[in-house]
Amino acid sequence: MFFSNGAHTLDKSLFYTTLALFLGGLLTLASASMVLSQKSFGLSGYYVLRQLLLGGVGGAIGLLAASRISYRLWKRLAIPLMLLSLALLVFLFIPELSYSFGGAKRWISIGPLSFQPSEILKFSFLVYLAGWLAARKDEVKSISRGMIPFTLMLSVVGIFLLMQPDIGTLGVIAISAGMLYFLGGGKTSQIITLFLFGLVMFYFIVQLAPYRLDRITTFLNPAADPQGIGYQINQAFIAIGSGGFWGRGLGMSLQKYQYLPEPMGDSIFAIFAEETGFLGVVVFIGLFGFFLWRGFAIAYRAPDLFGRLLAAGITMGITVQAFINMAAISGLLPLTGIPLPFVSYGGTSLVVTLTQIGVLLNIAKHI
């Protein structure tokens, strides 16, 4: 039952779009990481090889397995997955099991391997929420049995992420969850109320740490302190602007030579824009736009409510994160620090993303 291939074959358009994003991401990462790789390990391809062997191979296995396992099994696993994700977040505060970078506790380290529990949480919370909404489809519009429990669930997740802290991931989860709640039957008035509540919470979160206020200040006036708090965004502007229409060419970025901070992390889109230019950016955004359309087409035709919500949640989670990353490094939003799906360095993110694509492919098989 849970290993059925479904009624139809592989959704080739979704698969090849994913493959294009994955291969394009590896090429971009190979260029963006080569300077740091050479400096740290004496091997210009160290980071991209590690991404391919750990994230790529692990993600391919996850995609293949998830595409063959019936998506309905995830509904049964929703609560265990959610509890596992929360337990992993607790482990972050055990010094023997975790390590910090840049003042954030986001990684669990076991021997030579490390991973980010928050990346797993992105998927498990969407699965749990899709199952919860599908089970309460007639009660979602109720304030006491719909909006309040949803707000409490999101608040618990938010507290765990704030403790790391990981505001960028919290933003992605909150936006995706809010959209999913609306698709699950939430009223427009409830969404507006949740949005206003989120703005109030965002104000207090910003006030808790000066560096968050600095990001807002930099967003509003990037030129205020170009050698201080505005350094990263101004270097990103230089990279994007110098790409012109055609770009400098693959591998020809200058900003990756230790000018642009985090060139293989949250700033990698600026390197991509520098090397491929406006034309490359349009193609890249077009791929994500096609992915968004295809994901919603699968969600619309899914055979049951849980499948529709799960497909929509996966699609929104990946695309929301992608567009927030690109908008932030382009100066359209405050810097968030979240990775660009398929492209930024990070094995956990790639494995979880490709596994989610596998779930989406399985839903498509049942159409």
Q: pLDDT band for position 144 (50/70/90)?
A: confident
Residue 211 has pLDDT above 80, yes or no: no
At residue 301, the 3 state secondary structure works out as helix
Q: Can the peptide bond before residue 165 be classed as cis, meaning omega within 30 degrees of 0?
A: yes
Average pLDDT of the residues in 44-58: 93
Between 213 and 48, residue with greater pLDDT:
48
Residue 321 has pLDDT above 50, yes or no: yes
Cβ within 8 Å of residue 145, ≥6 positions away: 136, 139
Average pLDDT of the residues in 199-205: 86
Query: Is residue 98 included in any domain, yes or no?
Result: yes
d(CA 32, CA 44): 10
Structural domain total, the chain:
1
Query: Is residue 347 included in any domain, yes or no?
Result: yes
Average pLDDT of the residues in 291-307: 95
pLDDT tens digits, one per residue of 94-110: 777 777 666 667 778 77
Q: pLDDT band for position 365 (50/70/90)?
A: very high
Average pLDDT of the residues in 204-226: 79
Q: What is the pLDDT of residue 213?
A: 78
Q: Give the chain's mean pLDDT.
A: 89
Model confidence, pTM: 0.93
pLDDT tens digits, one per residue of 151-198: 999 999 998 888 887 888 899 999 999 999 999 988 899 999 999 988
Residue 219 has pLDDT above 80, yes or no: yes
User: Looking at the DSSP assignment, which residues form a beta bridge with residue 104?
Assistant: 101
Provide the H-helix boundaries in the chain: 12-41, 46-50, 57-68, 72-91, 117-135, 148-163, 167-183, 188-208, 210-220, 231-242, 268-301, 305-329, 347-365
Phi/psi for 115 (5° steps) reads -155, 165
Q: What is the pLDDT of residue 202?
A: 85
Window from 121-125, 167-171, 284-288, 311-315 with minimum mean pLDDT: 167-171
Q: What is the pLDDT of residue 107?
A: 77
Q: What is the pLDDT of residue 101?
A: 66
Q: What is the pLDDT of residue 218?
A: 82
Between 218 and 285, residue with greater pLDDT:
285
User: Nearest to residue 280, comparing CAs of 316, 254, 248, 238?
Assistant: 248
Query: Is residue 361 included in any domain, yes or no?
Result: yes
Query: Is residue 6 included in any domain, yes or no?
Result: no
Residue 8 has pLDDT above 90, yes or no: no
Residue 311 has pLDDT above 50, yes or no: yes
CA triple 230-320-69, angle to 5 deg: 140
pLDDT tens digits, one per residue of 258-269: 888 889 988 999
Cβ–Cβ < 8 Å for 92, 164: yes
Query: Is residue 65 included in any domain, yes or no?
Result: yes
- Single-letter code of the amino acid located at 68: R
Burial letters 227-251, b for 16+ CB under 10 A, else e: eebbebbbbbbbbbebbeeebbeee
Phi/psi for 194 (5° steps) reads -65, -40
What percent of the chain is predicted at pLDDT more than 70? 96
Query: Is residue 160 included in any domain, yes or no?
Result: yes
Residue 138 has pLDDT above 50, yes or no: yes
pLDDT tens digits, one per residue of 327-362: 999 999 988 888 999 999 988 999 999 999 999 999
Q: pLDDT band for position 1 (50/70/90)?
A: very low
Q: What is the pLDDT of residue 291?
A: 97
Query: Is residue 7 included in any domain, yes or no?
Result: no
Residue 62 has pLDDT above 80, yes or no: yes
Domain that holds residue 90: 12-365
Burial letters 46-55, b for 16+ CB under 10 A, else e: bbbbbbbebb
Query: Is residue 115 included in any domain, yes or no?
Result: yes
Q: DSSP label at 260?
A: S
Q: What is the pLDDT of residue 259?
A: 87
